[in-house]
A and B are shown apart, each in its own frame.
Chain A
Amino acid sequence: MSIILSIWTFYKKLILPLASIAILTGILGLSATGSFSFKWSGLAYFLLTPLFHYFIYEVRNKNEYYFYFNLGLNKPVLWASTISISLFIALILSLI
């Protein structure tokens, strides 16, 4: 349970920037096609995940990794978890 909470704490930081871009993409789709595109929002959310993960954790807050290392999570696990959660969210968005 504490591992799930730790991964969620790590992922939470990515939600706001990713959701903002995803909504923006949906709105751009709205202006082009006349309807809000959840499919494109989901795709943008997923494809931008590695970029935001890299920028937020590898560039801006590199030392925060030590918090998660101390909870027994290494970098490959953290990367895999963000990609997996984003894929899950993107799939849900694309099914709407």
Chain B
Amino acid sequence: MGKHHFHKFIHCPDPLTDMSLLHIDSIRKIFPDKQLLTDVFITCKSGEIVGLLGRNGSGKSTLLKIIFGSIPAENKFVRIDEKVLKGVADTRNLIKYLPQDNFLPDHTKVKTIISLFCHKKNAEKIKNYSHIRPLLNRTSKQLSSGEKRLIEVLLIVFSNAKFILIDEPFNGIAPVYKDDIKAMIREQSEHKGFIITDHDYKNITGIATKTILLHDGGTKQISDKDELKHWGYIPGTA
């Protein structure tokens, strides 16, 4: 979809349901050796969990960073309702992004980090989570990478943003926490939209309400497992 079609799709939040729409369009990213993303188009509404799949190097993480505004693109159009987002300063309280690598400041106590990141009600929810309570008075430096990841996922999922971008949330997370996290994402998706990637497609298809495959720089909407086989994402013939 070209830039000149945008005005047909302008979405205003519904005051009754407080529904919002994240509209991502015309994203193009070129690296010196290849064109990674070609005219990518994705929409995500409040209440939706969009699963973003793709082979290694297909541009999933790059796409999320471009949407968030932390890296530039040759072309991009990102809008939430009537607000066009150009950089990270525009995404405050609108989009939160969980990168693949740990990002917590290592000199700050966990309880301070939680209070900085979330509103009081959600901060209390995280602080009272049985796996987090013993870690509250530690600094991030004193945590294992799995513990850091768990805190990061909770901070992002329970943040006050309208849309949440999560890159590999289950990476380094103990299996015992995975179901809890999926349940929390489902619960929080009542008021927020999620775009999630993971290297294991089963983690995604289990919770996604819509699945999109990044293939050859573009997006394909996926309705069943056979389509993933058809596009060569999983082995087998459709």
- Taking CB atoms, residues of chain A closer than 8 Å to B70 are 65-66, 69
Cross-interface CB contact of B159 among A2, A13, A65, A70, cutoff 8 Å: A70
Selected from A2, A9, A67, A73, the residue in CB contact (under 8 A) with B103 is A67
* Distance of A2 Cα from B97 Cα, bound (Å): 18
- The A/B interface has a contact count, at CB < 8 Å, of 57
Name B116's contact: one of A66, A71, A74 (CB within 8 Å). A71
Q: Does A81 contact B (CB under 8 A)?
A: no
**Cβ distance A8 to chain B, nearest Cβ, rounded Å:** 10
Report if A70-B112 is in contact (Cβ < 8 Å); known contacts: A13-B105, A64-B103. Answer: no
How many residues of A are in contact with the other chain, CB < 8 A? 20
Contact A71 B92, beta carbon cutoff 8 Å: yes
Q: Are B107 and A12 in contact (CB under 8 A)?
A: yes
B contact residues, total (Cβ < 8 Å): 26
If A63-B99, A66-B99 touch, whether A72 touches B107 (CB-CB below 8 Å) is no
Q: Enumerate chain A residues within 8 angstroms of B68, measured Cβ to Cβ.
A: 69
A33 within 8 A of B: no
Q: Interface digits, B83-110 against A, CB 8 Å rule (1 contact, 0 not)?
A: 0000111011100110101111111100
Specify which chain A residues have a CB less than 8 angstroms from the CB of B177 in the assembled complex. Answer: none
A5: Cβ under 8 A from any B Cβ: yes
What CA separation (Å) do A61 and B108 show in the bound complex? 14
19 A-B residue pairs with CB within 8 Å? A12-B107, A12-B108, A13-B105, A13-B107, A61-B105, A61-B106, A64-B104, A64-B105, A65-B103, A66-B70, A67-B105, A69-B97, A70-B97, A70-B156, A70-B159, A71-B116, A72-B91, A72-B93, A73-B88
B→A interface (CB under 8 Å): 68-70, 87-89, 91-93, 96-97, 99, 101-108, 112-113, 116-117, 156, 159
Having A61-B106, A74-B88, one finds 16 other A-B pairs with CB under 8 Å, namely A6-B116, A9-B116, A12-B107, A13-B105, A13-B107, A64-B103, A64-B106, A65-B70, A66-B70, A66-B97, A66-B103, A69-B70, A71-B116, A72-B88, A72-B89, A73-B89
